[in-house]
Amino acid sequence: MRSERRPLSTETSEFARARVTAEAGLRVQQDQAVRTVAGRARDADDLRGLLAMLGLEAPVRG
Residue 8 lies in a domain: no
What global pTM score does this model have? 0.70
Looking at residue 5, its amino acid is R
pLDDT digits (tens, 9 = 90+) for 21-42: 999 999 999 999 999 999 999 9
Residue 28 lies in a domain: yes
Buried b (16+ CB within 10 A) or exposed e, 2-21: eeeeeeeeeeeeeeeeeeee
Residue 23 lies in a domain: yes
* pLDDT-based confidence at residue 60 (cuts at 50, 70, 90): confident
Total of domains in the chain:
1
Residue 34 lies in a domain: yes
Residue 62 lies in a domain: no
Task: Write out the residue range of the structural domain in which residue 42 sits.
Answer: 13-54
